Chains A and B, each alone.
Chain A
Amino acid sequence: MAKTFEYRQAEEIRDAFSRHGVRYLFLGKSGAILLGYPDTTQDADLFVEKSPSNGAAIVAALIDLGFELTATEQVEISRGKDFVQLKNGPFDLDLVFAPDGIERFEDAWQRRVDVEGFPVCHPADIIASKQAANRAKDRESLPRLRAFLDYWREKPPTERG
Protein backbone atom coordinates (compact mmCIF):
# COMPACT_ATOMS: atom_id res chain seq x y z
CA MET A 1 0.00 0.00 0.00
CA ALA A 2 1.20 3.45 -0.81
CA LYS A 3 -0.40 6.85 -0.46
CA THR A 4 -4.18 7.01 -0.33
CA PHE A 5 -6.62 9.47 -1.78
CA GLU A 6 -9.60 10.12 0.43
CA TYR A 7 -12.61 12.41 0.67
CA ARG A 8 -10.61 14.69 2.93
CA GLN A 9 -8.10 15.23 0.15
CA ALA A 10 -10.88 15.94 -2.33
CA GLU A 11 -11.87 18.66 0.12
CA GLU A 12 -8.28 19.92 0.17
CA ILE A 13 -8.31 20.16 -3.63
CA ARG A 14 -11.64 21.96 -3.56
CA ASP A 15 -10.49 24.44 -0.94
CA ALA A 16 -7.04 25.13 -2.42
CA PHE A 17 -8.36 25.44 -5.96
CA SER A 18 -11.10 27.73 -4.71
CA ARG A 19 -8.59 29.93 -2.84
CA HIS A 20 -6.58 30.36 -6.02
CA GLY A 21 -9.58 30.74 -8.31
CA VAL A 22 -8.82 27.65 -10.41
CA ARG A 23 -11.42 26.68 -13.03
CA TYR A 24 -11.66 22.89 -12.91
CA LEU A 25 -14.03 19.93 -12.74
CA PHE A 26 -13.72 16.51 -11.15
CA LEU A 27 -13.75 13.98 -13.97
CA GLY A 28 -13.45 10.21 -14.28
CA LYS A 29 -14.23 7.79 -11.53
CA SER A 30 -13.34 10.28 -8.79
CA GLY A 31 -16.04 12.57 -10.19
CA ALA A 32 -18.54 9.73 -10.40
CA ILE A 33 -17.82 8.74 -6.80
CA LEU A 34 -18.52 12.29 -5.65
CA LEU A 35 -21.90 11.96 -7.39
CA GLY A 36 -22.64 8.84 -5.36
CA TYR A 37 -21.32 6.09 -7.65
CA PRO A 38 -20.09 3.30 -5.37
CA ASP A 39 -16.54 2.40 -6.37
CA THR A 40 -12.90 3.12 -5.56
CA THR A 41 -10.17 4.89 -7.47
CA GLN A 42 -6.46 5.37 -7.13
CA ASP A 43 -6.28 9.06 -7.96
CA ALA A 44 -8.25 12.14 -8.80
CA ASP A 45 -8.76 13.25 -12.38
CA LEU A 46 -9.30 16.97 -12.84
CA PHE A 47 -10.47 18.57 -16.08
CA VAL A 48 -8.80 21.97 -15.95
CA GLU A 49 -9.44 24.96 -18.17
CA LYS A 50 -6.57 25.75 -20.50
CA SER A 51 -5.64 29.41 -20.16
CA PRO A 52 -2.54 31.29 -18.98
CA SER A 53 -4.26 32.68 -15.90
CA ASN A 54 -5.77 29.33 -14.95
CA GLY A 55 -2.42 27.61 -15.49
CA ALA A 56 -0.73 30.00 -13.08
CA ALA A 57 -3.53 29.49 -10.56
CA ILE A 58 -3.22 25.70 -10.84
CA VAL A 59 0.51 25.85 -10.11
CA ALA A 60 -0.05 28.06 -7.08
CA ALA A 61 -2.79 25.76 -5.77
CA LEU A 62 -0.69 22.63 -6.27
CA ILE A 63 2.23 24.15 -4.38
CA ASP A 64 -0.21 25.16 -1.66
CA LEU A 65 -1.37 21.52 -1.47
CA GLY A 66 2.20 20.28 -1.05
CA PHE A 67 3.11 19.16 -4.57
CA GLU A 68 6.83 19.55 -5.28
CA LEU A 69 7.12 21.02 -8.74
CA THR A 70 10.34 21.90 -10.52
CA ALA A 71 10.53 25.11 -12.52
CA THR A 72 10.15 23.11 -15.74
CA GLU A 73 7.08 21.30 -14.42
CA GLN A 74 5.54 24.60 -13.36
CA VAL A 75 6.02 25.96 -16.86
CA GLU A 76 4.51 22.85 -18.45
CA ILE A 77 1.43 23.03 -16.24
CA SER A 78 1.05 26.77 -16.79
CA ARG A 79 1.32 26.21 -20.53
CA GLY A 80 -1.36 23.55 -20.35
CA LYS A 81 0.04 20.33 -21.76
CA ASP A 82 -2.89 18.08 -22.62
CA PHE A 83 -2.15 15.58 -19.86
CA VAL A 84 -0.07 15.92 -16.68
CA GLN A 85 0.30 13.08 -14.19
CA LEU A 86 1.40 14.11 -10.70
CA LYS A 87 2.76 11.65 -8.18
CA ASN A 88 4.94 14.16 -6.40
CA GLY A 89 2.54 15.32 -3.75
CA PRO A 90 0.31 14.15 -0.91
CA PHE A 91 -1.86 12.13 -3.34
CA ASP A 92 -1.93 11.20 -7.01
CA LEU A 93 -3.50 13.68 -9.37
CA ASP A 94 -4.08 13.72 -13.13
CA LEU A 95 -4.56 17.10 -14.77
CA VAL A 96 -6.44 16.74 -18.03
CA PHE A 97 -6.55 19.84 -20.21
CA ALA A 98 -8.15 18.10 -23.22
CA PRO A 99 -10.08 14.99 -22.21
CA ASP A 100 -11.22 12.57 -24.85
CA GLY A 101 -14.91 12.89 -25.67
CA ILE A 102 -15.48 16.44 -24.36
CA GLU A 103 -15.05 19.26 -26.84
CA ARG A 104 -14.68 22.35 -24.69
CA PHE A 105 -14.21 23.11 -20.99
CA GLU A 106 -16.89 25.78 -21.12
CA ASP A 107 -19.49 23.31 -22.36
CA ALA A 108 -18.67 20.85 -19.58
CA TRP A 109 -18.71 23.72 -17.06
CA GLN A 110 -22.24 24.68 -18.11
CA ARG A 111 -23.37 21.07 -17.59
CA ARG A 112 -21.50 20.57 -14.28
CA VAL A 113 -23.05 19.27 -11.07
CA ASP A 114 -22.22 20.94 -7.77
CA VAL A 115 -21.83 18.46 -4.92
CA GLU A 116 -21.05 20.04 -1.54
CA GLY A 117 -18.96 22.66 -3.31
CA PHE A 118 -17.20 20.13 -5.54
CA PRO A 119 -17.57 21.06 -9.22
CA VAL A 120 -18.13 17.72 -10.94
CA CYS A 121 -18.56 16.89 -14.61
CA HIS A 122 -22.06 15.80 -15.50
CA PRO A 123 -22.18 11.99 -15.38
CA ALA A 124 -23.01 11.96 -19.11
CA ASP A 125 -19.69 13.75 -19.73
CA ILE A 126 -17.84 11.28 -17.50
CA ILE A 127 -19.33 8.47 -19.57
CA ALA A 128 -18.56 10.27 -22.85
CA SER A 129 -14.90 10.64 -21.90
CA LYS A 130 -14.58 6.98 -20.93
CA GLN A 131 -16.40 5.90 -24.07
CA ALA A 132 -14.04 7.96 -26.23
CA ALA A 133 -10.94 6.69 -24.40
CA ASN A 134 -12.20 3.12 -24.84
CA ARG A 135 -9.49 1.52 -22.71
CA ALA A 136 -10.03 -1.96 -21.36
CA LYS A 137 -10.65 -0.51 -17.88
CA ASP A 138 -13.19 1.94 -19.31
CA ARG A 139 -15.13 -0.83 -21.05
CA GLU A 140 -15.30 -2.63 -17.71
CA SER A 141 -16.77 0.44 -16.01
CA LEU A 142 -19.13 1.73 -18.68
CA PRO A 143 -22.11 -0.64 -18.29
CA ARG A 144 -22.44 0.13 -14.60
CA LEU A 145 -21.77 3.86 -15.09
CA ARG A 146 -24.59 3.96 -17.65
CA ALA A 147 -26.92 2.20 -15.22
CA PHE A 148 -25.87 4.69 -12.53
CA LEU A 149 -26.69 7.57 -14.88
CA ASP A 150 -30.21 6.20 -15.36
CA TYR A 151 -30.63 5.98 -11.58
CA TRP A 152 -29.12 9.45 -11.04
CA ARG A 153 -31.44 11.05 -13.62
CA GLU A 154 -34.49 9.66 -11.84
CA LYS A 155 -33.48 11.34 -8.58
CA PRO A 156 -35.00 14.73 -7.84
CA PRO A 157 -32.42 17.46 -8.64
CA THR A 158 -32.22 18.42 -4.97
CA GLU A 159 -31.01 14.91 -4.11
CA ARG A 160 -28.36 14.60 -6.80
CA GLY A 161 -25.59 16.36 -4.93
Chain B
Amino acid sequence: MRYAFVHTYKPVLDDARYRSFDTMAEYRAWCERELPRWLGYGQDL
Protein backbone atom coordinates (compact mmCIF):
# COMPACT_ATOMS: atom_id res chain seq x y z
CA MET B 1 0.00 0.00 0.00
CA ARG B 2 1.37 3.40 -1.00
CA TYR B 3 1.07 6.36 1.42
CA ALA B 4 -1.40 4.39 3.54
CA PHE B 5 -3.99 6.09 5.70
CA VAL B 6 -5.84 4.11 8.37
CA HIS B 7 -9.22 5.10 9.73
CA THR B 8 -10.29 4.40 13.31
CA TYR B 9 -13.47 5.58 15.03
CA LYS B 10 -13.25 8.93 16.78
CA PRO B 11 -16.10 9.48 19.26
CA VAL B 12 -18.33 12.49 18.58
CA LEU B 13 -16.16 13.67 15.70
CA ASP B 14 -17.26 10.78 13.50
CA ASP B 15 -20.89 10.86 14.61
CA ALA B 16 -22.16 13.43 12.11
CA ARG B 17 -22.10 13.23 8.33
CA TYR B 18 -21.51 16.96 7.88
CA ARG B 19 -20.49 19.96 9.96
CA SER B 20 -19.70 23.53 9.05
CA PHE B 21 -18.49 26.56 10.95
CA ASP B 22 -18.53 30.20 9.94
CA THR B 23 -15.13 30.79 11.50
CA MET B 24 -12.17 28.71 12.58
CA ALA B 25 -12.59 30.17 16.07
CA GLU B 26 -16.08 28.64 16.23
CA TYR B 27 -14.69 25.29 15.10
CA ARG B 28 -11.89 25.39 17.69
CA ALA B 29 -14.38 26.30 20.42
CA TRP B 30 -16.63 23.41 19.38
CA CYS B 31 -13.67 21.01 19.55
CA GLU B 32 -12.80 22.24 23.04
CA ARG B 33 -16.39 21.94 24.23
CA GLU B 34 -17.58 18.74 22.58
CA LEU B 35 -14.71 16.37 21.85
CA PRO B 36 -13.08 13.94 24.25
CA ARG B 37 -9.81 15.48 25.37
CA TRP B 38 -7.77 12.41 24.50
CA LEU B 39 -8.47 12.99 20.79
CA GLY B 40 -6.09 15.93 21.03
CA TYR B 41 -8.22 18.49 19.19
CA GLY B 42 -8.23 20.83 22.19
CA GLN B 43 -5.43 22.97 23.55
CA ASP B 44 -4.74 20.67 26.50
CA LEU B 45 -5.11 17.01 27.29
Q: Are A84 and B20 in contact (CB under 8 A)?
A: yes
| Chain A residues, Cβ within 8 Å of B8 | 1-2, 42
Q: How far is the CB of B12 from chain A (nearest CB, A)?
A: 12
Instruction: Name the B residues within 8 Å of A142 (CB-CB).
Output: none
Is the beta-carbon distance between A136 and B43 smaller than 8 angstroms?
yes
Knowing A81-B22, A83-B27 are in contact, say whether A5-B5 is a contact too (CB < 8 A): yes
Interface residues in chain B, defined as those with a beta carbon under 8 Å from any beta carbon in chain A: 1-10, 14, 16-24, 26-28, 31, 37, 39-45
The number of residues on chain A lying at the interface, defined by a beta carbon within 8 Å of a beta carbon of chain B, is 40
**Cα of A99 to Cα of B4 in the assembled complex, Å:** 25
A-B contact count (CB 8 A): 102
Within the complex, the shortest CB–CB distance from A121 to chain B, in Å, comes to: 16
Q: In whole angstroms, what is the CA distance A133 to B5 when docked?
A: 22
* Residues on B with beta carbons closer than 8 Å to the beta carbon of A42: 5-8, 10
In the complex, A96 Cα to B21 Cα: how many Å? Answer: 10
Contact A81 B20, CB 8 Å, known A2-B14, A135-B31, A135-B40: yes
User: If the complex has contacts A135-B42, A136-B40, A140-B40, are A5 and B20 also in contact, measured as CB distance less than 8 A?
Assistant: no
Complex contacts, B4 vs chain A, CB 8 Å: 6-7, 40
Report the minimal beta-carbon distance from B36 to chain A, rounded to whole angstroms.
12
A124 touches B (CB below 8 Å): no
Excluding A40-B4, A85-B16, A98-B23, 5 further A-B contacts by CB distance (< 8 Å) are A2-B9, A6-B2, A7-B5, A82-B23, A83-B23
Q: Answer whether residue A53 sits at the interface, using C-beta atoms and an 8 A cutoff.
A: no
